[in-house]
A and B are shown apart, each in its own frame.
Chain A
Amino acid sequence: MSSPLTTSLDNLHPGEKAAISSIHAEESLFQRLTALGFRAGKQIEMVRRASFNGPLHVRIGTTEIILRRSEAHRIQINTGL
């Protein structure tokens, strides 16, 4: 891919990496995400996706985090790095 493609985090496949472009969340969720390292420009990797539409396991730098698909949907990412 030559140009960045924007999508939401829940569309990332296991093993794929992307850069966070923006987060659309109310202040309490935004603060929690920020504290855990979700910031614009940070690289994020999808580690695995739980069965039965369960949560996602992602990695940002040295932190591994699980979050639900509904929250991941509010995080915009750029693929095609």
Chain B
Amino acid sequence: MKRVALLGMPNTGKSTLFNRISGASARVGNWPGITVDLMSAKILMGGHIAELIDLPGIYDLHGFSDDEQVVRHFLEHNAIDLVIIVLNSTQIDRQLSLALQIRALGLPSVLMLNMADEARRGSISIDIQAMSERIHMPVAMISAKYGEGFQAALTLAAQSIASSNMQLTLEQINSRLQADNVLEQEMESIVRDSVQMPAQLTDQTTERIDKVLLHPWLGLPIFFAAMYLLFQFIFTAGKPLQDGVAWLLQMLRGGVLEPMLAHVPTWLHGLLLDGIYNGVGTVASFVPIIILFFLIMSMVEDSGYLSRAAFLMDALMARLGLDGRGFVMMLMGFGCNVPALMGTRVMRSRNLRLLTMLVIPFSLCSARLQVFVFMTAILFTPQQAPLVLFTLYLMSFAAIFVSALIFKGRYANSEPFILELPPYRFPTPRQIVLRGWQEVGYFLRRATKFIVIGVVLVWVLTNFPSAAAPASNETFAGMIGSFMAPILTPIGIDTQLAIALIFGFVAKEIVIGSLAVIYGLQGDALMHLMAHKLDWVQGMSFMLFTLIYTPCLSTVATLRTESKSSAFMMLSIVWSLVLAWVVSFVFYQSARALGF
């Protein structure tokens, strides 16, 4: 099998090209010595079966950043049959240096100049024949987004696959990369001979939009208003879809599963329906909101607005010892903490990275959102609910800021903050759907196992020893809850809620599922019971604790693997538990003191 690597600078549409070539067949692969997740896919290229690998975006091969190190490591440890270099046509005058570096390494390569559509709009013309002759590798112009020139480029790539593959040593990489100045002169000469571009490319549309969105005074209010509207939209559109899924699940249980399992032993009936099916049902009923969330999120990300958010927020973030990228990662954390933590790899200062990783788990992720949507629906009117959710988002930011301020001395950094602002691009429906599909798939693969195992575990704990009545104080769960009571009573959390919190440590996705098993009810019946048993002060205290304490085992595992420090992981767990307890305690005791 041939091995083909995709390599390019950041923001060149490399991943879009990867998705176009691989379709939806991509998966995360394991590579010797590389701790970063690399997407790969098996594809048919010419007559060959090839493995296509999407390498991280890099500016050069010198290895100053982690991503550059990953690429160097990859080239050092894997024989390569072809490197597909992806560059942005509209920035070819400075990006060509990467292609020249690859050529200097002697790797078999083909150059794909992406964003042909934008180049045309910007009156940039490239003589690919002349360029190809000068850099001694095939060159093709493509638009990965719209598919223009794609088939021809693939054919060119297939013809360029070397008859024998090539593996480099680190010494070879370093010795062949020596002459930067020579390379730069060559780049200028090639660009002079083969590229026609206006001295300044001004994208009128982007400039006009930026005038409003990056306005000195309007920029920030617009940013926060946009975020608020986004969440409002997700709930308004998500609610009927969620209800529909819940109804379907109920129909399936009553109409098919109950009659089918009528004659199995009671314990198996309980395990299958109250454990596994309830768990699966819990996942399924929240899928619509997660899909909506990531569809919207991918639009916000791909449009280039997130880089603008970094620009707007950097003044504040710099004061917290973080940077604008940290803010972008925190926003990603509002989808899921795990990829956000992995995304901090773009930061080159270890201290800045650790500080950012310490605060990201306070981002109110979609799993915690499930808990809050459920709880607010029980305890508040439909008019109050969005306001309560918004307050929780503000609390999430507050926890981030307070933690950053407390720990910024410990993790002081002097990392430069330099980011490209890409022009506004509206992603194609294909891009949005594919992105949403990948994110949802990732979420489900990760969450489903956790939820089902977690819910089954809770079912076992709440139904055994078999002499005890289900979910009563005599079950294992009740014993654990009673044991924790001295710590949790002062923050208004009773035994049942305590059990839900214990399992929330595994994953927030199982909290609602575990409540369903703890109370032996689900859907409207569960809501009625909880509304009867809890007042809003208790519910709010529970939500605050859920918001701030350890998000899930996956986050903990990611913290450890990314920081490569168990001590750092422990610090994160302990600090979040302490902060959660203090916040809930202050809220609960003040609210009670005020007579609520």
Question: Which residues of A pack against B, CB within 8 Å?
Answer: 27-29, 31-37, 39, 43, 45, 47-48, 50-55, 57, 59, 61-68, 71
Q: Any chain A CB within 8 A of the CB of B201?
A: yes
Determine if B314 and A54 form an interchain contact, defined as CB atoms under 8 angstroms apart: yes
Number of interchain pairs (Cβ within 8 Å): 107
Residues of A within 8 A of B55 (CB): none
Determine if A59 and B200 form an interchain contact, defined as CB atoms under 8 angstroms apart: yes
Determine if B93 and A71 form an interchain contact, defined as CB atoms under 8 angstroms apart: no
Nearest CB in chain A: distance from B101 CB, A = 11
Q: Known contacts A50-B312, A55-B311, A66-B418; decide if A31 and B62 are in contact (CB<8 Å).
A: yes
Nearest CB in chain B: distance from A22 CB, A = 15
Residue in contact with A67 in the complex, picked from B91, B97, B122, B417, CB distance below 8 Å = B417
- Interface residues of chain A: helix, strand, loop or mixed (majority): mixed
Docked complex: B418-432 residues within 8 A CB-CB of A? 418-423
Q: Any chain A CB within 8 A of the CB of B217?
A: yes
A35 to B100, CA, bound (A): 13
Nearest CB in chain B: distance from A28 CB, A = 4
Determine if A63 and B418 form an interchain contact, defined as CB atoms under 8 angstroms apart: no
Determine if A33 and B418 form an interchain contact, defined as CB atoms under 8 angstroms apart: yes
Quick one: which of B60, B201, B315 has the most chain A CB within 10 A? B315
Q: Known contacts A62-B90, A64-B421; decide if A51 and B217 are in contact (CB<8 Å).
A: yes
Residues of B within 8 A of A28 (CB): 64, 348
Residue in contact with B314 in the complex, picked from A34, A43, A55, A62, CB distance below 8 Å = A55
Q: A45-B200, A48-B214 are in contact. List 13 more A-B contacts (CB 8 A).
A: A28-B64, A37-B94, A39-B184, A48-B216, A51-B216, A51-B219, A52-B315, A54-B315, A54-B318, A61-B91, A62-B122, A62-B124, A68-B417
A67 to B310, CA, bound (A): 10
Question: Which residues of B pack against A, CB within 8 Å?
Answer: 9, 59-60, 62, 64, 90-91, 93-94, 97, 122, 124, 184, 197, 199-201, 210, 214, 216-217, 219-220, 307, 310-312, 314-316, 318, 324, 348, 416-423
Nearest CB in chain B: distance from A47 CB, A = 8
Residue in contact with B420 in the complex, picked from A34, A47, A63, A68, CB distance below 8 Å = A63
A34 to B96, CA, bound (A): 12
Nearest CB in chain A: distance from B310 CB, A = 7
Nearest CB in chain A: distance from B360 CB, A = 21
Determine if A29 and B94 form an interchain contact, defined as CB atoms under 8 angstroms apart: no
Q: Known contacts A62-B201, A67-B417; decide if A36 and B59 are in contact (CB<8 Å).
A: yes
Residues of B within 8 A of A57 (CB): 214, 311, 421
Nearest CB in chain B: distance from A49 CB, A = 8
Residue in contact with B416 in the complex, picked from A29, A48, A52, CB distance below 8 Å = A29
A68 to B90, CA, bound (A): 25
Determine if B421 and A51 form an interchain contact, defined as CB atoms under 8 angstroms apart: no
A50 to B323, CA, bound (A): 14
- Nearest to B348 among chain A residues (CB) is A28
Residues of B within 8 A of A34 (CB): 184
Residue in contact with B91 in the complex, picked from A43, A47, A62, CB distance below 8 Å = A62
What are the 5 tightest A-B residue pairs by CB atom distance, in nearest-first order?
A54-B315, A35-B59, A52-B315, A62-B201, A28-B64
Determine if B94 and A66 form an interchain contact, defined as CB atoms under 8 angstroms apart: no
Residues of B within 8 A of A37 (CB): 91, 93-94
- Nearest to A64 among chain B residues (CB) is B421
Determine if B417 and A61 form an interchain contact, defined as CB atoms under 8 angstroms apart: no
Residue in contact with A68 in the complex, picked from B307, B312, B416, B421, CB distance below 8 Å = B416
Quick one: which of A32, A55, A62, A63 has the most chain B CB within 10 A? A62
